[in-house]
Amino acid sequence: MQPGLKTRLDYDDYAAIPADGRRWELLDGEPHVSPAPSPLHQRLVGSLFVAFREHFRRPAEVFVSPIDVILTPHDVLQPDLVVVADPAQVSARGIEGPPLLVVEVLSPTTAAYDRTMKARRFAALGVPHLWLVDPDARRIECHRREGADYRLVVSTDAPDTLAHPDFPTLAIPLAPLWE
């Protein structure tokens, strides 16, 4: 390694990445890039965004990617959907600190990364809820942070309706998501 080269990137390095149309993230100081999402991925994100906007009222706010979730100077992630309960977390840069809920729609190129490395980082840095949407299985898995890890709380397949004990008035029929 050459002297003077950074081995762990931070937010300033991330912000200096030229806009190239790709989705960049920092995970514990290491850059990761994802290809553009598929149309099905975007349909699912859009439908869930509408359901969340109907459910989560001010002061909570729902955001759709791309939006930076800045968890530490070395962890800048872009989940597909973000629910912020505390308006003070919303800054000119993005979401500062752990939001209430993040949603990742899995794709063949990101599923392993989203389920392992990214999920572990979200849990370690205090994100209370992680939902994983599996388009191929037509399933939503809802995980709740317990300690430094996530525990599966609810797993619902289409055509059933998703109900979550932590959000008792939220009910999402899954069949229409895949229509």
For residue 1, what pLDDT is reported? Answer: 43
Assign residue 70 the CATH number of its domain.
Answer: 3.90.1570.10
For residue 7, what pLDDT is reported? Answer: 77
For residue 19, what pLDDT is reported? Answer: 84
Whether 161 is covered by a domain: the verdict is yes
Confirm if 178 and 162 have CB atoms less than 8 A apart: no
CA distance 32 to 40: 22
Whether 113 is covered by a domain: the verdict is yes
What SS3 class is residue 44? helix
Whether 11 is covered by a domain: the verdict is no
What is the bridge-based pairing of β-strands 81-84 and 61-64?
antiparallel
Whether 22 is covered by a domain: the verdict is no
Whether 28 is covered by a domain: the verdict is no
Confirm if 94 and 67 have CB atoms less than 8 A apart: yes
Query: Residues 112-170: pLDDT tens digits?
Result: 999 999 999 999 999 999 999 999 999 999 999 998 899 999 999 999 999 999 999 99
Whether 58 is covered by a domain: the verdict is yes
Specify the number of domains making up the chain.
1
Whether 20 is covered by a domain: the verdict is no
Counting beta carbons within 10 angstroms of the beta carbon of residue 3, is it exposed (0 to 12), middle (13 to 18) or buried (19 or more)? Answer: exposed
- 158-166 CB contacts, 8 Å cutoff, 24+ apart: 166/129
Confirm if 85 and 63 have CB atoms less than 8 A apart: no
Query: Residues 35-91: pLDDT tens digits?
Result: 888 899 999 999 999 999 999 999 999 999 999 999 999 999 999 999 999 999 999
| Whether this model's pTM surpasses 0.75 | yes
Whether 81 is covered by a domain: the verdict is yes
Q: Which domain holds residue 78?
A: 37-178
